[in-house]
């Protein structure tokens, strides 16, 4: 089974579709997020997690993942491995 991780990261994807002065965002801090998921793959640039999967004959099978999240490694502040018993 893939490792289950807790990832602390900076969300750099702020997008505001309303009409507003851009300078009003100069002092805003970037949101810090926490994501829990199984590691699918880590590349030089990104970490790919999934937070759910379906069982095949009561076991994990690659290709049955759901709720995929991609986080740019430059945005990751901390990663901790979670220890849990999984089915």
Q: Which domain holds residue 26?
A: 4-82
Buried/exposed code over 51-69 (b: 16+ C-beta within 10 A; e: otherwise): eebeeeeeeeeeeebeeeb
Is residue 73 one of the residues assigned to a domain?
A: yes
Count of domains forming the chain: 1
- Is it the case that residue 69 has pLDDT exceeding 70? yes
73 pLDDT band (50/70/90 cuts)?
A: very high
For residue 30, the model assigns a pLDDT of 87
pLDDT of residue 10: 95
Q: Does residue 87 form part of some domain?
A: no
Domain membership flag for residue 23: yes
In a domain, 9, yes or no: yes
Q: Residues near 1 by Cβ (< 8 Å), separated by ≥ 6?
A: 38, 60, 86
The angle subtended at Cα 70 by Cα 67 and Cα 76, nearest 5°, is 125
Q: What is the pLDDT of residues 20-65, one digit of tens each?
A: 888 888 888 888 999 999 999 999 999 999 999 888 888 888 888 9
| pLDDT score, position 61 | 84
62 lies in some domain = yes
- Residue 65 maps to a domain: yes
| pLDDT the model gives residue 27 | 83
Does 70 map to a domain?
A: yes
Per-residue confidence (pLDDT) for residue 62, from 0 to 100: 87
Asked if residue 57 is part of any domain, the answer here is: yes
Predicted TM-score of the model (pTM): 0.82
């Amino acid at each position: 089974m893939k490792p289950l991780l807790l990832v602390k990261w900076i969300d750099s994807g702020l997008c505001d579709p309303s009409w507003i002065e851009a300078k009003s965002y100069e002092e805003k801090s970037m949101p810090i997020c926490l994501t829990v998921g199984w590691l699918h793959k880590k590349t030089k640039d990104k970490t790919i997690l999934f937070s759910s999967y379906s069982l095949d004959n009561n076991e994990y099978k690659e290709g049955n993942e759901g709720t995929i999240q991609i986080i740019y490694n430059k945005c990751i502040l901390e990663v901790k491995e979670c220890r849990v018993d999984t089915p």
